[in-house]
Amino acid sequence: MTTQQSGVWLPVDCHAHTTFSDGQLTVDELIDCARGRDVRPSVSDHISSYMDNAVTTVDETRAYLDALEQYDVLRGGEFCWHDSLWREIPSDLASRFTHRLGSLHGIWLPNGELVYAFSRRFPNVTPDEYMEAHVANLEHFAREMPVDVLAHPTLLPLSLRPIPLEELWTEEREERAVGALAAAGIAFEISNRYRPHERFVRRAFEGGVRISLGSDGHTEAQVADIEFALSLARDIGVADQELYDPLRHGSRTGYFMPRSKRVG
Ligand SMILES: [Zn+2]
Ligand SMILES: [Zn+2]
């Protein structure tokens, strides 16, 4: 079984999407795709009230977990920090996830305005002003949100993407982000889709933050493609066995013990 630990170490793709949200593959197709790439699969669909193609309610979250429990696959979910649904998930459902991801798809500015990462509209602030708000949101997220992984930590609004990540993420901002993640016990994802710069990943690793691999795949070409992420992790000295694996390292909120020993 690919989700189980066996003699041979295989990497885990902790972040991939199916037709439960905006992915193109069914759960069966995602599992086959990952197996073909010698990767252990997760399903981590969008669970957010405002998205069109997503799990959008508590009842739909229950149905999603009911369905995933029929498969040999890790059960994740990608929750948006700025959305309210994650706050409404009852603990009996929270504990059925093997791992949960949190995403900064929307950032609150000090004036209450919300800036979406995928919108062409950008507020009347400088890149530096935006980045200060981004890091403040990240710190707040790390203190408050019960997740195991910060998905694509360097995802930024479309308008800022032409600017090099190393400039937007000053070393001081990287330090603040790493400090917040380390204090919370939240892993730093190396995303194949929104690729982080090496300095930030190295700083996270050296700051005691666990590293997680994620394809953020939505198609057959993308799901379980974590070669970039795995080779960057190895380059900076992360041992394979230390890469985030929900079955090995547990979850802050999820399922990682026999049903009989679970509380509640
Ligand atoms: Zn995302
Ligand atoms: Zn995603």
Confidence at 253, pLDDT banded by 50, 70, 90: confident
Of 180, 109, 174, nearest to 139 (Cα)?
180
Confidence at 3, pLDDT banded by 50, 70, 90: low
How confident is the model over 83-90, as a mean pLDDT? Answer: 96
Q: Identify the pLDDT of residue 31.
A: 98
Alpha-carbon distance values, 183 to 150, 160, 187, 201, 249 (Å): 13, 28, 11, 16, 17
CA of 260 to the centre of ligand 2 (A): 32
* Closest ligand to residue 44's CA: 2
CA of 263 to the centre of ligand 2 (A): 30
The single-letter code of the amino acid at 247 is L
Paired sense of beta strands 101-103 and 74-80, if any: parallel
Tell me the C-alpha distance between 188 and 212, whole Å.
6
Q: Identify the pLDDT of residue 256.
A: 63
How confident is the model over 101-118, as a mean pLDDT? Answer: 97
CA of 43 to the centre of ligand 1 (A): 13
How confident is the model over 111-132, as a mean pLDDT? Answer: 95
Residue spans of alpha helices (H) in the chain: 27-36, 58-68, 85-88, 91-94, 127-144, 165-168, 171-184, 198-206, 227-235, 246-249
pTM, full prediction = 0.94
The single-letter code of the amino acid at 211 is I
Q: Identify the pLDDT of residue 188.
A: 98
* Closest ligand to residue 14's CA: 2
Confidence at 263, pLDDT banded by 50, 70, 90: very low
Confidence at 129, pLDDT banded by 50, 70, 90: very high
* Closest ligand to residue 104's CA: 1
CA of 16 to the centre of ligand 2 (A): 6
Q: Identify the pLDDT of residue 261.
A: 47
pLDDT of 139 over the 90 cut: yes
Q: Identify the pLDDT of residue 264.
A: 33
Tens digits of per-residue pLDDT, 212-223?
999 999 999 999
Tell me the C-alpha distance between 214 and 196, whole Å.
12
Secondary structure letter of residue 112 according to DSSP: S
Mean pLDDT of the chain: 94
Q: Identify the pLDDT of residue 93.
A: 95
How confident is the model over 36-55, as a mean pLDDT? Answer: 97
How confident is the model over 75-90, as a mean pLDDT? Answer: 97
pLDDT of 5 over the 90 cut: no
CA of 21 to the centre of ligand 1 (A): 11
CA of 191 to the centre of ligand 1 (A): 10
The single-letter code of the amino acid at 216 is D
Confidence at 194, pLDDT banded by 50, 70, 90: very high
CA of 22 to the centre of ligand 1 (A): 11
Q: Identify the pLDDT of residue 175.
A: 98
pLDDT of 183 over the 70 cut: yes
Sign of the Cα pseudo-torsion (233, 236, 167, 80, in order):
positive
* 72, two tokens: 């040999």
* Closest ligand to residue 216's CA: 2
Tens digits of per-residue pLDDT, 159-174?
999 999 999 999 999 9
Percent of the chain topping pLDDT 90: 92
Judge whether 16 and 151 are in contact, CB under 8 Å. Answer: no
Helix (H, G, I), strand (E, B) or coil at 103: strand
